Structure 1
Protein backbone atom coordinates (compact mmCIF):
# COMPACT_ATOMS: atom_id res chain seq x y z
CA UNK A 1 0.00 0.00 0.00
CA UNK A 2 1.22 3.46 -0.86
CA UNK A 3 1.04 6.67 1.13
CA UNK A 4 -2.12 7.86 -0.65
CA UNK A 5 -5.51 8.37 0.94
CA UNK A 6 -7.24 5.48 -0.88
CA UNK A 7 -4.56 2.98 0.21
CA UNK A 8 -4.46 4.37 3.75
CA UNK A 9 -8.24 3.88 4.03
CA UNK A 10 -7.72 0.25 3.03
CA UNK A 11 -4.84 -0.06 5.47
CA UNK A 12 -6.95 1.28 8.35
CA UNK A 13 -9.59 -1.39 7.77
CA UNK A 14 -7.08 -4.25 7.40
CA UNK A 15 -4.04 -3.17 9.37
CA UNK A 16 -3.76 -6.50 11.19
CA UNK A 17 -2.51 -7.96 7.88
CA UNK A 18 -0.06 -5.16 7.08
CA UNK A 19 2.95 -5.82 9.27
CA UNK A 20 5.76 -4.32 7.19
CA UNK A 21 6.84 -0.74 6.54
CA UNK A 22 9.24 0.10 3.73
CA UNK A 23 11.15 3.36 4.01
CA UNK A 24 13.13 4.58 1.01
CA UNK A 25 16.23 6.55 2.06
CA UNK A 26 17.15 9.43 -0.25
CA UNK A 27 20.10 11.73 0.04
CA UNK A 28 19.88 15.09 -1.67
CA UNK A 29 23.00 16.71 -3.06
CA UNK A 30 23.22 19.84 -5.10
CA UNK A 31 26.14 20.99 -7.18
CA UNK A 32 28.48 18.36 -8.64
CA UNK A 33 26.61 15.41 -7.10
CA UNK A 34 23.12 16.51 -8.15
CA UNK A 35 22.83 14.12 -11.10
CA UNK A 36 23.97 11.13 -9.01
CA UNK A 37 21.54 12.11 -6.24
CA UNK A 38 18.62 12.36 -8.65
CA UNK A 39 19.57 9.12 -10.40
CA UNK A 40 19.73 7.24 -7.08
CA UNK A 41 16.36 8.63 -6.00
CA UNK A 42 14.80 7.64 -9.33
CA UNK A 43 16.13 4.09 -9.00
CA UNK A 44 14.94 3.66 -5.40
CA UNK A 45 11.54 5.17 -6.27
CA UNK A 46 10.97 2.76 -9.15
CA UNK A 47 12.23 -0.17 -7.09
CA UNK A 48 10.11 0.50 -4.01
CA UNK A 49 6.99 1.21 -6.08
CA UNK A 50 7.40 -2.10 -7.88
CA UNK A 51 8.08 -3.86 -4.58
CA UNK A 52 4.90 -2.34 -3.13
CA UNK A 53 2.88 -3.73 -6.05
CA UNK A 54 4.31 -7.21 -5.40
CA UNK A 55 3.35 -7.11 -1.72
CA UNK A 56 0.15 -5.05 -1.71
CA UNK A 57 -1.78 -5.97 1.40
CA UNK A 58 1.34 -6.96 3.33
CA UNK A 59 3.40 -3.78 3.38
CA UNK A 60 3.03 -0.03 3.56
CA UNK A 61 5.38 2.10 1.48
CA UNK A 62 5.86 5.24 3.54
CA UNK A 63 7.14 8.52 2.11
CA UNK A 64 10.90 8.62 1.59
CA UNK A 65 13.16 9.69 4.43
CA UNK A 66 15.05 12.49 2.74
CA UNK A 67 18.15 14.21 4.06
CA UNK A 68 21.01 16.39 2.85
CA UNK A 69 24.01 14.27 1.92
CA UNK A 70 26.45 16.63 3.65
CA UNK A 71 24.48 16.83 6.92
CA UNK A 72 25.82 15.44 10.18
CA UNK A 73 25.32 11.62 10.10
CA UNK A 74 24.49 11.46 13.81
CA UNK A 75 21.67 13.98 13.34
CA UNK A 76 20.34 12.05 10.36
CA UNK A 77 20.36 8.80 12.37
CA UNK A 78 18.52 10.49 15.27
CA UNK A 79 15.80 11.72 12.90
CA UNK A 80 15.45 8.29 11.31
CA UNK A 81 15.24 6.67 14.78
CA UNK A 82 12.23 8.92 15.49
CA UNK A 83 10.55 7.54 12.39
CA UNK A 84 11.46 4.02 13.43
CA UNK A 85 10.09 4.47 16.96
CA UNK A 86 6.83 5.87 15.62
CA UNK A 87 6.43 3.04 13.12
CA UNK A 88 7.13 0.40 15.77
CA UNK A 89 4.60 2.00 18.15
CA UNK A 90 2.01 1.59 15.42
CA UNK A 91 2.41 -2.19 15.43
CA UNK A 92 4.58 -2.77 12.38
CA UNK A 93 6.63 -5.88 13.04
CA UNK A 94 9.08 -5.35 10.19
CA UNK A 95 10.81 -2.26 8.89
CA UNK A 96 12.89 -2.29 5.73
CA UNK A 97 15.07 0.63 4.72
CA UNK A 98 15.99 0.69 1.05
CA UNK A 99 18.81 2.88 -0.20
CA UNK A 100 21.51 3.16 -2.79
CA UNK A 101 23.76 5.12 -0.41
CA UNK A 102 26.54 2.80 0.74
CA UNK A 103 27.26 5.06 3.75
CA UNK A 104 24.22 3.56 5.48
CA UNK A 105 26.06 0.25 5.88
CA UNK A 106 28.18 1.92 8.59
CA UNK A 107 25.08 2.77 10.63
CA UNK A 108 22.79 -0.21 10.06
CA UNK A 109 23.59 -1.68 13.50
CA UNK A 110 21.98 1.43 15.05
CA UNK A 111 18.67 0.66 13.35
CA UNK A 112 16.24 -2.00 14.47
CA UNK A 113 14.90 -2.44 10.94
CA UNK A 114 16.60 -4.23 8.06
CA UNK A 115 18.77 -2.13 5.79
CA UNK A 116 18.85 -3.07 2.13
CA UNK A 117 21.57 -1.39 0.12
CA UNK A 118 21.53 -1.68 -3.64
CA UNK A 119 23.85 0.22 -5.95
CA UNK A 120 21.80 2.55 -8.12
CA UNK A 121 21.49 1.37 -11.68
CA UNK A 122 21.82 4.17 -14.24
CA UNK A 123 18.33 4.43 -15.72
CA UNK A 124 18.49 7.74 -17.51
CA UNK A 125 19.48 6.29 -20.91
CA UNK A 126 17.14 3.30 -20.85
CA UNK A 127 13.74 2.92 -22.45
CA UNK A 128 10.77 2.39 -20.15
CA UNK A 129 10.65 -1.31 -20.98
CA UNK A 130 14.36 -1.69 -20.20
CA UNK A 131 13.83 0.09 -16.87
CA UNK A 132 10.97 -2.23 -15.97
CA UNK A 133 13.05 -5.27 -16.87
CA UNK A 134 15.96 -4.13 -14.68
CA UNK A 135 13.70 -3.26 -11.77
CA UNK A 136 11.84 -6.58 -12.03
CA UNK A 137 15.16 -8.40 -11.82
CA UNK A 138 16.16 -6.47 -8.70
CA UNK A 139 12.78 -7.01 -7.04
CA UNK A 140 12.93 -10.77 -7.67
CA UNK A 141 16.12 -10.84 -5.63
CA UNK A 142 14.46 -8.85 -2.84
CA UNK A 143 11.40 -11.12 -2.66
CA UNK A 144 13.36 -13.93 -1.03
CA UNK A 145 14.98 -11.52 1.43
CA UNK A 146 11.58 -10.21 2.52
CA UNK A 147 10.06 -13.66 2.91
CA UNK A 148 13.13 -14.84 4.83
CA UNK A 149 12.80 -11.95 7.32
CA UNK A 150 9.08 -12.62 7.71
CA UNK A 151 9.67 -16.31 8.44
CA UNK A 152 12.37 -15.51 11.03
CA UNK A 153 9.75 -13.85 13.21
CA UNK A 154 6.98 -16.46 13.03
Structure 2
Protein backbone atom coordinates (compact mmCIF):
# COMPACT_ATOMS: atom_id res chain seq x y z
CA UNK A 1 0.00 0.00 0.00
CA UNK A 2 1.10 3.51 -0.77
CA UNK A 3 0.60 6.86 0.91
CA UNK A 4 -2.53 7.63 -1.14
CA UNK A 5 -6.14 8.20 -0.12
CA UNK A 6 -7.30 4.95 -1.72
CA UNK A 7 -4.56 2.82 -0.19
CA UNK A 8 -4.83 4.48 3.23
CA UNK A 9 -8.51 3.48 3.35
CA UNK A 10 -7.43 -0.11 2.69
CA UNK A 11 -4.67 0.19 5.29
CA UNK A 12 -7.07 1.49 7.94
CA UNK A 13 -9.35 -1.51 7.36
CA UNK A 14 -6.52 -4.06 7.51
CA UNK A 15 -3.82 -2.40 9.60
CA UNK A 16 -3.34 -5.44 11.85
CA UNK A 17 -1.82 -7.23 8.82
CA UNK A 18 0.39 -4.34 7.70
CA UNK A 19 3.42 -4.56 9.94
CA UNK A 20 6.20 -3.10 7.80
CA UNK A 21 6.92 0.51 6.87
CA UNK A 22 9.17 1.20 3.89
CA UNK A 23 10.78 4.63 3.96
CA UNK A 24 12.83 5.73 0.94
CA UNK A 25 15.77 8.00 1.88
CA UNK A 26 16.33 10.56 -0.87
CA UNK A 27 18.98 13.30 -0.90
CA UNK A 28 18.57 16.68 -2.55
CA UNK A 29 21.37 19.00 -3.58
CA UNK A 30 21.13 21.73 -6.19
CA UNK A 31 24.84 22.66 -6.01
CA UNK A 32 26.85 19.51 -6.61
CA UNK A 33 26.14 16.45 -8.72
CA UNK A 34 22.50 17.44 -9.18
CA UNK A 35 21.85 14.80 -11.84
CA UNK A 36 23.41 12.11 -9.68
CA UNK A 37 21.10 13.02 -6.77
CA UNK A 38 18.07 13.04 -9.05
CA UNK A 39 19.12 9.68 -10.49
CA UNK A 40 19.53 8.22 -6.98
CA UNK A 41 16.09 9.48 -5.99
CA UNK A 42 14.45 8.16 -9.13
CA UNK A 43 16.09 4.77 -8.72
CA UNK A 44 15.13 4.42 -5.05
CA UNK A 45 11.55 5.55 -5.77
CA UNK A 46 11.30 2.95 -8.53
CA UNK A 47 12.63 0.21 -6.25
CA UNK A 48 10.33 1.29 -3.40
CA UNK A 49 7.36 1.00 -5.76
CA UNK A 50 8.51 -2.49 -6.77
CA UNK A 51 8.75 -3.55 -3.11
CA UNK A 52 5.28 -2.16 -2.45
CA UNK A 53 3.84 -4.08 -5.43
CA UNK A 54 5.56 -7.32 -4.38
CA UNK A 55 4.41 -7.12 -0.77
CA UNK A 56 1.10 -5.28 -1.10
CA UNK A 57 -0.95 -5.94 2.01
CA UNK A 58 2.13 -6.41 4.18
CA UNK A 59 3.95 -3.09 3.72
CA UNK A 60 3.02 0.56 3.67
CA UNK A 61 5.23 2.69 1.45
CA UNK A 62 5.70 6.04 3.16
CA UNK A 63 6.57 9.30 1.41
CA UNK A 64 10.30 9.74 0.99
CA UNK A 65 12.42 11.00 3.84
CA UNK A 66 14.02 13.82 1.87
CA UNK A 67 17.09 15.56 3.21
CA UNK A 68 19.70 18.09 2.15
CA UNK A 69 22.78 16.12 1.14
CA UNK A 70 25.32 18.45 2.76
CA UNK A 71 23.41 18.52 6.06
CA UNK A 72 25.45 16.85 8.84
CA UNK A 73 24.88 13.10 8.91
CA UNK A 74 24.16 13.16 12.65
CA UNK A 75 21.30 15.62 12.08
CA UNK A 76 19.85 13.46 9.29
CA UNK A 77 20.16 10.37 11.46
CA UNK A 78 18.42 12.09 14.36
CA UNK A 79 15.51 13.18 12.15
CA UNK A 80 15.18 9.69 10.67
CA UNK A 81 15.12 8.18 14.16
CA UNK A 82 12.26 10.57 14.99
CA UNK A 83 10.37 9.27 11.94
CA UNK A 84 11.11 5.71 12.99
CA UNK A 85 9.87 6.31 16.52
CA UNK A 86 6.59 7.76 15.24
CA UNK A 87 6.03 4.89 12.79
CA UNK A 88 6.92 2.26 15.41
CA UNK A 89 4.56 3.83 17.95
CA UNK A 90 1.76 3.55 15.38
CA UNK A 91 2.12 -0.23 15.32
CA UNK A 92 4.67 -0.98 12.62
CA UNK A 93 6.87 -3.79 13.92
CA UNK A 94 9.39 -3.46 11.11
CA UNK A 95 10.79 -0.36 9.42
CA UNK A 96 12.93 -0.60 6.30
CA UNK A 97 14.99 2.37 5.15
CA UNK A 98 15.77 2.17 1.43
CA UNK A 99 18.63 4.26 0.02
CA UNK A 100 21.28 4.61 -2.66
CA UNK A 101 23.25 7.13 -0.58
CA UNK A 102 26.34 5.43 0.82
CA UNK A 103 26.58 7.96 3.68
CA UNK A 104 23.88 6.03 5.53
CA UNK A 105 26.15 2.97 5.72
CA UNK A 106 28.33 4.95 8.16
CA UNK A 107 25.51 5.05 10.73
CA UNK A 108 23.73 1.80 9.82
CA UNK A 109 24.46 0.22 13.22
CA UNK A 110 23.01 3.27 14.98
CA UNK A 111 19.66 3.09 13.18
CA UNK A 112 16.76 1.44 14.99
CA UNK A 113 15.91 -0.91 12.12
CA UNK A 114 17.02 -2.28 8.73
CA UNK A 115 18.88 -0.19 6.17
CA UNK A 116 18.81 -1.52 2.62
CA UNK A 117 21.46 0.16 0.51
CA UNK A 118 21.30 -0.33 -3.24
CA UNK A 119 23.81 1.07 -5.72
CA UNK A 120 21.96 3.55 -7.93
CA UNK A 121 21.77 2.18 -11.42
CA UNK A 122 21.21 4.79 -14.14
CA UNK A 123 18.19 3.87 -16.20
CA UNK A 124 17.06 7.16 -17.71
CA UNK A 125 17.69 5.96 -21.26
CA UNK A 126 17.06 2.28 -20.65
CA UNK A 127 14.51 0.40 -22.73
CA UNK A 128 11.49 -0.82 -20.78
CA UNK A 129 12.38 -4.51 -21.08
CA UNK A 130 15.89 -3.89 -19.70
CA UNK A 131 14.47 -1.72 -16.94
CA UNK A 132 12.12 -4.53 -15.93
CA UNK A 133 15.01 -7.03 -15.92
CA UNK A 134 17.10 -4.69 -13.77
CA UNK A 135 14.26 -4.22 -11.28
CA UNK A 136 13.65 -7.98 -11.19
CA UNK A 137 17.35 -8.64 -10.47
CA UNK A 138 17.36 -6.12 -7.63
CA UNK A 139 14.16 -7.60 -6.21
CA UNK A 140 15.75 -11.07 -6.16
CA UNK A 141 18.20 -9.63 -3.63
CA UNK A 142 15.65 -7.63 -1.64
CA UNK A 143 12.97 -10.32 -1.23
CA UNK A 144 15.14 -12.64 0.94
CA UNK A 145 16.21 -9.68 3.10
CA UNK A 146 12.60 -8.86 3.90
CA UNK A 147 11.40 -12.43 4.34
CA UNK A 148 14.29 -13.14 6.71
CA UNK A 149 13.49 -9.97 8.61
CA UNK A 150 9.88 -11.06 9.07
CA UNK A 151 11.00 -14.41 10.45
CA UNK A 152 13.00 -12.72 13.20
CA UNK A 153 11.75 -10.80 16.20
CA UNK A 154 11.11 -7.11 15.58
CA UNK A 155 13.80 -4.79 16.90
CA UNK A 156 12.76 -3.18 20.15
CA UNK A 157 12.99 0.58 20.51
CA UNK A 158 14.29 2.30 23.64
For 1:1-154, what aligned pairs fall within 5 Å after superposition? 1-153=1-153
Aligned residues: 154
C-alpha distance in 2, partners of 1:42/1:6? 23
Structure 1 unaligned blocks of 5 or more: none
C-alpha distance in 2, partners of 1:50/1:88? 23
TM-score, length-scaled by structure 2: 0.94
After superposing on structure 2, the runs of 4+ consecutive aligned residues of structure 1 that deviate more than 6 Å are: none
Asked if the contact 2:2/2:52 (under 8 Å) is kept, the reply is: yes
Alpha-carbon shift at residue 108 of structure 1 (Å): 1.2
Alpha-carbon shift at residue 6 of structure 1 (Å): 0.5
State the superposition RMSD in angstroms. Answer: 1.1
Structure 2 unaligned blocks of 5 or more: none
- Superimposed CA distance per residue, residues 19-66 of structure 1 (whole angstroms, 9 cap, x where no aligned partner): 000000001111331000000111101111011000000000000000
Alpha-carbon shift at residue 129 of structure 1 (Å): 2.2
TM-score, length-scaled by structure 1: 0.96
